[in-house]
Structure 1
């Protein structure tokens, strides 16, 4: 990933040199870098709130109770994970944070879930079906309340930043269903077992 970023930056800098826009590039770097920092700081409060809520929910046992309620669905989606395994609680926390639009906060739980899923993986150099299914659900991610997008829309002056909630919910439900069905269809093929 670092190489990709390096090449993108190098191509942009070389392109601005050859097109005599180096001054414009410097201006954009200086103004946009500060806006990026401002945006990151403004999102930090939302992320801190949801991470704190999820850690309290985990410590209080609420995540375990939610996990038990979701257990029939999670067992169908992840059949090879043993009952009570840590990976399941990390996946539930990740999915819950993604559902409320705190995707950046969900990343830590997603990484922990992948670490735990790797302990169950028999082929350490190949992703297991459960790892792939979790990644697919994580990427498609049903969004009940897309807080990050609401914050972006609010910062950019939208008159009604919450008008996207229903369309976002519909789109993410459809994308998640399609992703799960596709993943399950590929799992059933011998080539992908």
Structure 2
């Protein structure tokens, strides 16, 4: 479905450019933006490698396990269906930590592993469990304390204070995550989603 939407948006844009006589300008924009997209992706590699490496070191050193023990009461409250010391707990936590540090692209791998582990606890593979739904809801709520990608963009475009958005980001993520958890718990009702 999303492929169809993207195709239609691009196709309509090209048709509009042809009808308005702006195909030359459209080509210039495509070439310029494609180059900027590649440059931006390459510039993010350093940040991504650093944080993914830090997460791997934290996992292998046992730090994630220690943090997991500290956050266990919160994880137990949010995900009561996950058995103690189940691998899903570790992957959920790693996903949350990566998201908090603004490494959303790196958090995707952890999120996929977490969802796979949560699905291993699912007796009905055709429906999501409450834990799976809650995990998705929290991820969609923009759980982020340090928006590294946005800070990097602000730095690249010459912002005098690229980290100036961190305070408001913390407030926004706190509010959106609390609302998401409340809504998730309201709709959870002790039944499978």
1:42 aligns with 2:36: no
1:135 aligns with 2:136: yes
What's 1:64 paired with? Answer: 65
Query: What is the TM-score normalised by the length of structure 2?
Result: 0.94
1:154 aligns with 2:155: yes
1:100/1:146 contact within 8 Å kept: yes
Aligned length, in residue pairs: 192
In 2, the alpha carbon distance for the partners of 1:122 and 1:4 equals: 34
Q: 1:8 deviation in Å?
A: 2.1
What's 1:82 paired with? Answer: 83
1:78/1:133 contact within 8 Å kept: yes
What's 1:181 paired with? Answer: 182
1:95/1:141 contact within 8 Å kept: no
Question: Could you list the runs of 5+ residues in structure 2 that have no partner in the other structure?
Answer: none
Q: 1:189 deviation in Å?
A: 7.5
In 2, the alpha carbon distance for the partners of 1:2 and 1:115 equals: 25
Question: Could you list the runs of 5+ residues in structure 1 that have no partner in the other structure?
Answer: none
The structure that is helix-richer by fraction is: 1
Query: What is the TM-score normalised by the length of structure 1?
Result: 0.94
In 2, the alpha carbon distance for the partners of 1:189 and 1:123 equals: 15
In 2, the alpha carbon distance for the partners of 1:76 and 1:133 equals: 11
Runs of 4+ in 1 over 4 A off after TM superposition: none
